Protein backbone atom coordinates (compact mmCIF):
# COMPACT_ATOMS: atom_id res chain seq x y z
CA UNK A 1 0.00 0.00 0.00
CA UNK A 2 1.33 3.42 -0.84
CA UNK A 3 2.58 5.51 2.07
CA UNK A 4 2.21 8.65 0.01
CA UNK A 5 2.05 9.95 -3.52
CA UNK A 6 4.25 12.48 -5.21
CA UNK A 7 2.83 14.74 -7.81
CA UNK A 8 4.74 15.16 -11.01
CA UNK A 9 3.82 17.76 -13.56
CA UNK A 10 4.20 17.64 -17.29
CA UNK A 11 3.55 20.51 -19.64
CA UNK A 12 0.10 19.17 -20.52
CA UNK A 13 -0.98 18.56 -16.93
CA UNK A 14 -0.16 16.82 -13.70
CA UNK A 15 0.08 13.10 -13.06
CA UNK A 16 0.66 11.10 -9.89
CA UNK A 17 3.77 9.03 -9.36
CA UNK A 18 4.57 6.67 -6.46
CA UNK A 19 7.65 7.09 -4.34
CA UNK A 20 10.86 5.30 -5.15
CA UNK A 21 10.57 1.60 -4.46
CA UNK A 22 6.80 1.53 -4.05
CA UNK A 23 4.35 -0.55 -6.03
CA UNK A 24 1.95 1.02 -8.48
CA UNK A 25 -0.51 -1.85 -7.98
CA UNK A 26 -3.87 -0.93 -6.47
CA UNK A 27 -4.20 -1.47 -2.73
CA UNK A 28 -5.84 -4.76 -1.77
CA UNK A 29 -7.87 -3.12 0.99
CA UNK A 30 -9.33 0.35 1.49
CA UNK A 31 -6.80 2.94 2.61
CA UNK A 32 -6.61 4.02 6.22
CA UNK A 33 -7.55 7.51 5.11
CA UNK A 34 -10.96 6.30 3.88
CA UNK A 35 -12.07 5.56 7.44
CA UNK A 36 -11.02 8.99 8.77
CA UNK A 37 -12.98 12.22 8.42
CA UNK A 38 -11.69 14.62 5.76
CA UNK A 39 -9.42 17.41 6.89
CA UNK A 40 -10.67 20.97 6.47
CA UNK A 41 -9.44 24.38 7.48
CA UNK A 42 -11.81 27.21 8.20
CA UNK A 43 -10.89 30.46 6.44
CA UNK A 44 -8.33 32.45 8.38
CA UNK A 45 -10.16 35.22 10.25
CA UNK A 46 -7.29 37.71 10.60
CA UNK A 47 -4.44 37.21 8.08
CA UNK A 48 -2.52 40.06 9.72
CA UNK A 49 -2.44 38.39 13.15
CA UNK A 50 0.80 36.67 14.25
CA UNK A 51 0.89 33.05 13.11
CA UNK A 52 2.94 30.20 14.54
CA UNK A 53 3.40 27.41 12.00
CA UNK A 54 3.38 23.90 13.48
CA UNK A 55 3.25 20.45 11.89
CA UNK A 56 0.88 19.52 14.73
CA UNK A 57 -1.51 22.16 13.31
CA UNK A 58 -1.74 21.49 9.54
CA UNK A 59 -4.09 24.45 9.06
CA UNK A 60 -1.33 26.78 10.28
CA UNK A 61 0.77 25.52 7.35
CA UNK A 62 -2.15 26.02 4.93
CA UNK A 63 -2.56 29.59 6.20
CA UNK A 64 1.18 30.32 5.97
CA UNK A 65 1.40 28.96 2.41
CA UNK A 66 -1.63 31.06 1.44
CA UNK A 67 -0.20 34.17 3.13
CA UNK A 68 2.92 33.67 1.02
CA UNK A 69 0.74 33.87 -2.10
CA UNK A 70 0.39 30.20 -3.01
CA UNK A 71 -2.69 28.02 -3.10
CA UNK A 72 -2.93 25.25 -0.51
CA UNK A 73 -5.37 22.34 -0.31
CA UNK A 74 -5.40 20.02 2.71
CA UNK A 75 -6.05 16.30 2.25
CA UNK A 76 -5.05 13.02 3.83
CA UNK A 77 -2.35 10.76 2.45
CA UNK A 78 -3.06 7.06 1.99
CA UNK A 79 -2.23 6.21 5.61
CA UNK A 80 -4.41 9.02 6.96
CA UNK A 81 -1.78 11.63 7.84
CA UNK A 82 -2.28 15.21 6.67
CA UNK A 83 -1.03 16.22 3.22
CA UNK A 84 -1.11 19.63 1.56
CA UNK A 85 -1.05 20.19 -2.19
CA UNK A 86 0.24 23.41 -3.66
CA UNK A 87 2.07 24.71 -6.73
CA UNK A 88 5.03 26.93 -7.61
CA UNK A 89 7.54 27.33 -10.42
CA UNK A 90 4.98 25.91 -12.88
CA UNK A 91 4.69 22.61 -11.00
CA UNK A 92 2.47 21.02 -8.38
CA UNK A 93 4.09 19.81 -5.16
CA UNK A 94 3.02 18.15 -1.93
CA UNK A 95 3.77 18.82 1.72
CA UNK A 96 3.83 15.54 3.63
CA UNK A 97 3.66 15.20 7.42
CA UNK A 98 5.90 12.97 9.56
CA UNK A 99 6.26 11.95 13.19
CA UNK A 100 2.48 11.88 13.61
CA UNK A 101 0.67 10.16 16.47
CA UNK A 102 -2.71 8.80 15.39
CA UNK A 103 -2.59 11.09 12.32
CA UNK A 104 -2.19 14.15 14.57
CA UNK A 105 0.53 15.89 16.57
CA UNK A 106 2.99 15.69 13.66
CA UNK A 107 6.55 16.93 14.20
CA UNK A 108 7.96 17.57 10.74
CA UNK A 109 7.07 18.13 7.12
CA UNK A 110 8.58 17.36 3.75
CA UNK A 111 8.11 19.36 0.57
CA UNK A 112 8.25 16.90 -2.32
CA UNK A 113 7.88 16.78 -6.10
CA UNK A 114 8.72 14.41 -8.94
CA UNK A 115 9.10 15.19 -12.64
CA UNK A 116 8.51 13.18 -15.77
CA UNK A 117 11.27 14.14 -18.17
CA UNK A 118 11.93 13.18 -21.79
CA UNK A 119 15.59 12.54 -21.09
CA UNK A 120 16.08 10.56 -17.90
CA UNK A 121 18.89 11.84 -15.67
CA UNK A 122 21.63 9.43 -14.70
CA UNK A 123 22.55 8.51 -11.15
CA UNK A 124 25.78 10.47 -11.72
CA UNK A 125 23.77 13.57 -12.65
CA UNK A 126 21.59 13.28 -9.53
CA UNK A 127 24.70 12.68 -7.40
CA UNK A 128 26.15 15.87 -8.89
CA UNK A 129 23.10 17.76 -7.58
CA UNK A 130 23.40 16.20 -4.12
CA UNK A 131 27.15 16.98 -3.94
CA UNK A 132 26.89 20.57 -5.12
CA UNK A 133 23.61 21.76 -3.58
CA UNK A 134 22.98 22.36 0.09
CA UNK A 135 19.19 22.32 -0.10
CA UNK A 136 17.02 19.61 -1.62
CA UNK A 137 17.66 15.86 -1.58
CA UNK A 138 17.39 14.46 -5.11
CA UNK A 139 16.85 10.87 -6.25
CA UNK A 140 15.55 8.80 -9.15
CA UNK A 141 12.45 6.60 -8.87
CA UNK A 142 11.91 3.13 -10.39
CA UNK A 143 10.78 4.71 -13.67
CA UNK A 144 14.02 6.76 -13.77
CA UNK A 145 12.14 10.02 -13.10
CA UNK A 146 13.86 12.65 -10.94
CA UNK A 147 12.44 13.70 -7.56
CA UNK A 148 13.46 16.25 -4.98
CA UNK A 149 12.55 16.57 -1.29
CA UNK A 150 13.10 19.33 1.28
CA UNK A 151 12.53 18.54 4.97
CA UNK A 152 11.72 20.90 7.83
CA UNK A 153 11.50 19.85 11.49
CA UNK A 154 9.01 22.17 13.17
CA UNK A 155 8.91 20.43 16.57
CA UNK A 156 6.45 21.32 19.33
CA UNK A 157 7.14 25.06 19.27
CA UNK A 158 6.90 25.63 15.51
CA UNK A 159 8.15 28.70 13.62
CA UNK A 160 6.79 32.20 13.12
CA UNK A 161 5.10 32.62 9.73
CA UNK A 162 7.96 34.80 8.49
CA UNK A 163 10.53 32.07 9.19
CA UNK A 164 8.38 29.37 7.60
CA UNK A 165 7.73 31.62 4.61
CA UNK A 166 11.50 31.99 4.09
CA UNK A 167 11.77 28.17 4.02
CA UNK A 168 8.90 28.00 1.53
CA UNK A 169 10.63 30.54 -0.72
CA UNK A 170 13.86 28.50 -0.47
CA UNK A 171 11.84 25.43 -1.55
CA UNK A 172 10.37 27.18 -4.59
CA UNK A 173 13.86 28.32 -5.59
CA UNK A 174 15.17 24.75 -5.19
CA UNK A 175 12.28 23.48 -7.35
CA UNK A 176 13.06 25.96 -10.15
CA UNK A 177 16.79 25.18 -10.03
CA UNK A 178 16.11 21.42 -10.04
CA UNK A 179 13.71 21.72 -12.99
CA UNK A 180 16.45 23.43 -14.99
CA UNK A 181 19.06 20.93 -13.78
CA UNK A 182 17.04 17.88 -14.95
CA UNK A 183 15.80 19.52 -18.14
CA UNK A 184 12.11 19.70 -17.31
> Which residues make Cβ contacts (< 8 Å) with residue 18, sequence separation at least 6?
2, 5, 6, 24, 141
Is residue 39 a contact partner of residue 58, using CB atoms and an 8 Å limit?
yes
Tell me, what DSSP letter sits at residue 54?
B
Stated pTM of the model: 0.81
Predicted confidence at residue 183, as pLDDT, reads 93
Decide if 110 is inside a domain.
yes
- The rounded distance, in Å, linking the Cα atoms of 64 and 66 is 5
Predicted confidence at residue 30, as pLDDT, reads 55
Decide if 22 is inside a domain.
no
Q: pLDDT, tens digit, for every residue of 14-48?
A: 333 333 332 233 333 456 677 888 899 999 989 99
Decide if 31 is inside a domain.
no
Predicted confidence at residue 31, as pLDDT, reads 62
Predicted confidence at residue 69, as pLDDT, reads 96
Of 1-15, 84-98, 130-144, the least confident: 1-15
**CATH code: domain of residue 112:** 3.30.1460
Predicted confidence at residue 180, as pLDDT, reads 95
User: Is 172's pLDDT higher than 80?
Assistant: yes
Q: What is the mean pLDDT of residues 140-148?
A: 96
- The rounded distance, in Å, linking the Cα atoms of 79 and 62 is 20
Tell me, what DSSP letter sits at residue 19?
P
Predicted confidence at residue 34, as pLDDT, reads 73
Q: How confident is the model at residue 136 (pLDDT cuts 50, 70, 90)?
A: very high
Q: What is the mean pLDDT of residues 120-135?
A: 97
Q: pLDDT, tens digit, for every residue of 91-123?
A: 999 999 999 999 999 999 999 999 999 999 999
Beta bridge pairs of residue 149: 112, 137
Number of domains present in the structure of the chain: 1
Cβ density class 44-77: b for 16+ within 10 Å, e for less: beeeeeebebbbbbbbbbbbbbbbbebebebebb
Decide if 25 is inside a domain.
no
Decide if 41 is inside a domain.
no
Predicted confidence at residue 32, as pLDDT, reads 66
Decide if 126 is inside a domain.
yes
In terms of residue numbers, what domain contains 64?
5-16+51-182
Decide if 121 is inside a domain.
yes
Taking phi over 0 as left and psi of -120 to 50 as alpha, with beta for the rest, 97 belongs to beta
Decide if 26 is inside a domain.
no
Is residue 61 a contact partner of residue 55, using CB atoms and an 8 Å limit?
yes
Amino acid sequence: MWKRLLFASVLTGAVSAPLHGQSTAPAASPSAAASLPPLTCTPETDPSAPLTVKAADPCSIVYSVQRAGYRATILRDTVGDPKIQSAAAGSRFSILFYGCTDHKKCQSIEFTVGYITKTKPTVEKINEWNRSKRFGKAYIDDEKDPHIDYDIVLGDEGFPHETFSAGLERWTTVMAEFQSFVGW
